[in-house]
Chains A and B, each alone.
Chain A
């Protein structure tokens, strides 16, 4: 998995590309730290270039959520492709995050 983090007007924009699996946890830690430091109330994960997420990847998104909630930051999962969209649906992530097409 590769990632970029950009400051946006209302918060943070994180772009994830490639495959997100267990071994990407150490990379994702940097994303979590960016959320800890951010200002604003919105963090958008751009998933348009993310090809695959496994159950460990879902756990990482939930860690990000745990950090965001006390800061009243809303996390949006945007643009998931078909395979990624499927696992987000199975995990009912629409009840925990804002999921947008």
Chain B
């Protein structure tokens, strides 16, 4: 799988309007080619199948373009190394099954062993859900213990997804491969949170709140920074 070289410049492609593509290419010193495999694929609305195709074809970044912050110096520079990025809006992200496609891409690149794929997929799924629901949508509580809790919870999610204030936020996924270990970083644009650590035996009958516990059980290391907006998951070979 190819990795962006210092020369020639990275290729930018996708279905965004040509003027926008050109502007971004000029800003970041990128070449534009809609037809070739793009190192960075931009889209106006992220889609799981399209993302899987792009990553399988060798793209290192799949970005739903919502604002200029979606394509950053950090992303462009990081593509000179062994990294992979996904940036999606909150609405698209909630409707996608991104974790399987991302982990499939990591296995295909040799950055994640097949025997760790299941653990990583569950961790990424839980982290993305937390980033979208609790981070970007700002919903602090889970479904709770009421029989109708899940219906109320889903109703609240749909309400927030329809609110431009929350829907405009994005979720950022980055995979960084270093010899024998891969770091998966999920970042949201919410207000952050303060983690309350739970033992595995706490609240066995609780209907929600297990996401971080699951990540801590399955990943080799979990680090939460930026006031709760950034979760790093480490998987060693």
Residues of A with Cβ closer than 8 Å to B? 19, 21-23, 25-26, 29, 32, 52, 54-56, 58-60, 62-63, 65-67, 82-83, 86-87, 90-92, 95-96
Name A89's closest neighbour in chain B (CB-CB). B217
A55 touching B204 in the complex, CB below 8 Å, given contacts A83-B122, A86-B118 = no
**CB–CB A96/B205 < 8 A:** yes
Does B211 touch A at the CB level, under 8 Å? yes
Check B118 against A25 for contact (C-beta < 8 Å): no
Expressed in whole angstroms, the minimum distance between the Cβ of B183 and any Cβ of chain A is: 21
Indicate if the CB atoms of A25 and B125 lie closer than 8 Å. Answer: no
A59 touches B150 (CB 8 A): yes
- B122 neighbours in A (Cβ, 8 Å): 52, 54, 83, 86-87
- The CA-CA distance from A66 to B207 in the complex, in Å, is 10
Q: Mark each residue of chain B from 139 to 156: 1 if its CB lies under 8 Å from any CB of chain A, else 0.
A: 000110001011101100
What 1/0 flags go to B148-183 for Cβ under 8 Å of A? Answer: 011101100000000000000000000000000000
Q: CB distance B208 to A56 under 8 Å? A: yes
Nearest-CB residue, chain A, relative to B205: A62
Number of interface residues of B (CB under 8 A): 30
- Nearest-neighbour CB distance to chain B for A48, whole angstroms, equals 16
Residues on B lying within 8 angstroms of A by beta carbon are: 97, 118-119, 121-122, 125-126, 129, 142-143, 147, 149-151, 153-154, 200-201, 204-211, 213-214, 217-218
Residues of A within 8 A of B118 (CB): 82-83, 86
**Alpha-carbon gap, A65 to B204, bound state (A):** 12
- Are B126 and A54 in contact, CB atoms less than 8 angstroms apart? yes
Q: Which residues of the partner chain A approach B218 to less than 8 Å between Cβ atoms?
A: 86, 90
Q: Do A86 and B151 contact each other (CB < 8 Å), given the known contacts A55-B208, A62-B205, A92-B204?
A: no
28 inter-chain pairs at a CB distance below 8 angstroms, sorted by A residue, are A22-B129, A22-B150, A22-B154, A25-B150, A26-B151, A52-B121, A54-B125, A55-B129, A55-B208, A55-B209, A55-B210, A56-B150, A56-B208, A58-B210, A59-B150, A59-B207, A59-B208, A62-B206, A62-B207, A63-B207, A67-B147, A82-B118, A83-B122, A86-B119, A87-B214, A90-B214, A90-B217, A96-B204
Given A22-B154, A90-B210; 16 other pairs, CB 8 A cutoff:
A19-B97, A23-B154, A52-B125, A55-B209, A56-B143, A60-B150, A62-B205, A66-B147, A86-B122, A90-B200, A90-B217, A90-B218, A91-B210, A92-B200, A92-B201, A96-B205
